[in-house]
A = this chain, B = another copy of it.
Amino acid sequence: MELTHIEHLGIAVKSIEAQLPYYENVLGLKCYSIEEVADQKVKTAFFKIGQTKIELLEPTSEDSAVAKFIEKKGEGIHHIAFATASVADALTEVESKGVQLIDKAPRKGAEGLNIAFLHPKTTGSVLTELCEDPNK
């Protein structure tokens, strides 16, 4: 498995609207997309910096995993997502090495990527996502 770069960082926020001025006016990044991901019960806002995107995650429901994260740990960095050529191959490899999979097979995530999450119990407490761009 080769991880080429950090595809994005997910940051849990209570309100995208409240955080936009910091990311845009202070950090000077430009929000190029706001998208709702219904099955994850979040609204997302994307910024690009170098090879990496920053993805703000605002829960749209109290029972969303992001709402529970904020309740437990507060707002902050929620997950790290690595880019790789094949998420399916990567899942097979990391599972064989003892990593617990949240997603047994790739599924569609924001921006049309094929994604899968690994369980933080087996990734040094860092919620970890693997991403593959099907158009590359």
Contact = CB atoms under 8 A, between A and B. Distances in A.
Interface residues of A, number: 39
Given A3-B28, A6-B9, A125-B74, A50 B51 contact: yes
A50 to B, nearest CB: 3
B80 A5 contact: no
Stoichiometry, copies per complex: 2
B75 A124 contact: yes
Interface in A1-30: 1-6, 9, 11, 13, 19, 22-23, 25-29
A125 B13 CA distance: 9
A80 B1 contact: no
Contacts of A125: 74-76
B74 A5 contact: no
